[in-house]
Amino acid sequence: QVRLVESGGGLVQPGGSRRLSCTASGFTLNSSTITWIRQTPAKEREGLSCTSNRDGNTSYKDSVKGRFTISTDNAKNTVYLQMNDLKPEDTGAYFCAADLRGQKCWQVDYDTWGQGTAVTVSS
């Protein structure tokens, strides 16, 4: 069965850091495109970062550029999202979603979603 499982969320103070993990099973990440998506407490969803693992390209939305880094460990079949300089507006549920056809970032189909991991940025 094709699955994605997110982990690593929790409570962090503003300015702090957190690393999220997205582990895939039932398929290999190196032929797919993975997008990290945040759902705010207001239920608004936005793609934040994407990696096209066919060619190693990565992309970021302006709101997280310079603060977040996406990376892939093919040996562990895991995609990471390193989040630095966190802000209260980063609070939300973080999901990873896979395009199994490996289409270009921001032109993807979200074929498979994980269940999300919650990140709360607060003092």
119 vs 54, more confident: 119
pLDDT of residue 54: 75
CA separation for the pair 96, 51 (Å, rounded): 11
pLDDT of residue 30: 85
Contacts of residue 117, Cβ cutoff 8 Å, sequence gap at least 6: 6, 7, 8, 9, 20, 93, 94
